[in-house]
Structure formats: C-alpha cells, structure tokens
Structure 1
Amino acid sequence: MQKVVLRDTQMALPTTAKLFGAVGLAATGFFTAELIPEKLHPGAEIHGLALMAASFGLLLGWRVIGMHPGKGLTKAVERGLHAAIYLLLWTMLFLGALQMMREMMRGRYGSPSEALLDILAQGMRLGSEAIQLDVLATLFCGAVLSAMLAEWAWKRWQ
C-alpha cells in the first residue's frame, strides 16, 4: 500500500505577513544593536553587530512572526515577544563568539572545548553589560510592533 503525504504549501509560500515580520524585526535588530556598543566596556570591539542582528531579525521575523498569521492581536503580540527573546539570545551568542575568536587569536585557550564553552560565558558577560532598559524597550517594542504590522498585512492582503 502506498503512503500518501500531504504537504502544507502555505508554510513554504512567501506572504506579506512574513515580509512585514522579517523587515520589521530586521529593522528592530539593527536599531537595537546600534545602542549596544556604548554600553560595553572599552576593550570589547564589535564590528558588524548591527548587520548581524539585522540578519538574525530577518530570519526570525520570517520564521517566527510571519509563520502563523491571522490568529488575532494577542497571538501576534506573543509571537513578537518570542521573536524578541530569540533575537536577544542569538545576538548574545554572536557577541560571545566574536569575543571568543578574539581571545583565541591571543592563544588563551588550551583546547577547542574550552573555547566553545567560553562562547556562552562571554555572551552572558557581554549580554549582562549590554542589557539596559533602553535596549530592552527598543527590542521588545520593535518586535511587538513588527508582529502587529505582520498581522495587519495578513488581514489587508489575505
């Protein structure tokens, strides 16, 4: 007997909700990342953080915010908050990886596992310095606004 597999083609198709969610969260990631360098200690050099946060925002906005539109405003706000948390975690991991690479070039690590574990430590240390009220407010308000715009776009061009 042959097995019939049905695919949900709606998941693969680009929609306006995905586009609005992706562009909105990319802009949120960019503007939030622009606030971070002034919060870090003077020795922390981060180049390209804003573009990387915008890239993470583009991907997460497409996959998290725009994935299931049309379920109401409260679900849109929930998706926006989830996307903001994911964006925060990915950006902290990226910061940790940047600092780990910098320390690796100085020959600080004795083994690869030590370097990989230090990614988490560096990310948490830099994240605790960078997470201030203005950064969090920009991140969460922008993500919720992006989710609300994605919900509006879905209703508008359904």
Structure 2
Amino acid sequence: MPTFSKLTAALILAAAAWWMSAVILAGPDLPVVARRFAEVNAVLGLVLGWVLIGPSAGQGPVAALSAGLSGGAALLVGSCALWAFLGMLRRSLRMQYAGPVEGLVDVARIATEMGLFYLVPGALLGALGGGLVAGISAELLAERRSE
C-alpha cells in the first residue's frame, strides 16, 4: 500500500544514490564506462527506499535506523553488482567470452574492481547517511500520521 513514508524514504534514498554517483564519477575512471550512471542508481535508490526502508516506518526508531543502514548498504552493493553485470553483458555482446561461465566469473572480477571506487568516503557517507536520513524521516512521518 502506498504511503507518504514510503515515498519519502524512496525519494531520499534516490537523492543519496545521485550524490553517491556524483562522488564516484568525480574520481578516476571506472573500469566499466557507465552511461546514465547517476540516473540508473537513482532509480535503484528509489526502488530500494520504497521496498526496504518504507515498510519499516512506524515500528520504532531502532527499526528505522536498521532499515536505513540496510537500505544504504543495499544501495552500495546493488549498484556495484548491477554495473558489473551490465559490464559483463556489454562484453558478451562483443563476443569477448569463450562461454557463459567465463562471463559469470568476469562479473565477480568487474565487481571487485568497481568496489574499490565505491569505497570513497563521500560515496559511503552519501549512501549510508542517506539511508539513515531516509529511515528516520519515514519513521517521523509515520509517527506524525498516527497522531
């Protein structure tokens, strides 16, 4: 069921994903050239905020903080995994792999390389801090609605 708490959590985590993307793109070149990097990550943040953080609204501040940290961590890991998979697909369409297993193994290699770019303090702060703000905001809006 759509609620204002879910919408708020989704929008805040999308903004955090946009910030995280801007910090990552400001650094050195990524191993995978990513078109629409910030936009795709913002959509991922929107979905994760709605699905992971929003439903915990109204269950108390501890649940809100836990859901916020989980949402921020899922944003970091999910974005890295998504872009690694898309990089593998791009290479597989260029017929650079001998077989499907080689492509799947390369996803892990690409994700490991890209993971180093996600460990920039600004990106970590953006994702995890944004998740915390999203969780707390959703909780405050749920409490305000119940009054």
Question: Equivalent residue for 1:81?
Answer: 69
- 1:67 matched to 2:47? The reply is no
- What is the alpha-carbon distance in structure 1 between the residues aligned to residue 39 and residue 80 of structure 2? 14
5+ residue gaps, structure 1: 1-12
Structure-2 change in CA distance of 1:33 and 1:42 (3 Å): closer
Question: Equivalent residue for 1:33?
Answer: 21
5+ residue gaps, structure 2: none
Superposed, 1:38-57 pairs within 5 Å as 38-41=26-29, 44-57=32-45
- What is the alpha-carbon distance in structure 1 between the residues aligned to residue 69 and residue 93 of structure 2? 37
Structure-2 change in CA distance of 1:42 and 1:93 (3 Å): closer
- What is the alpha-carbon distance in structure 2 between the residues aligned to residue 59 and residue 76 of structure 1? 17
- 1:137 matched to 2:125? The reply is yes
Count of residues paired in the alignment: 146
Q: Percent identity?
A: 27
Superposed, 1:110-121 pairs within 5 Å as 110-121=98-109
Q: What is the letter of the counterpart of residue 53 of structure 1? A: N
Structure-2 change in CA distance of 1:66 and 1:132 (3 Å): same
TM score, norm. by length of structure 1: 0.84
Match of 2:6 among 18, 21, 25: 18
Indicate the structure with greater helix content.
Answer: 2
How far residue 130 of structure 1 moved from its aligned partner, in angstroms, is 3.1
For residues 98-156 of structure 1, give each alpha carbon's deviation from its aligned partner in whole angstroms, at most 9, with x where no partner exists.
Answer: 32233334432101221122112201211113321111011111110011111111112
- What is the alpha-carbon distance in structure 2 between the residues aligned to residue 38 and residue 72 of structure 1? 37
- What is the alpha-carbon distance in structure 2 between the residues aligned to residue 42 and residue 25 of structure 1? 23
- What is the alpha-carbon distance in structure 2 between the residues aligned to residue 81 and residue 141 of structure 1? 8
RMSD of equivalent CA atoms: 1.7
Residues 44 and 99, structure 1, Cα contact 8 Å, conserved in 2: yes
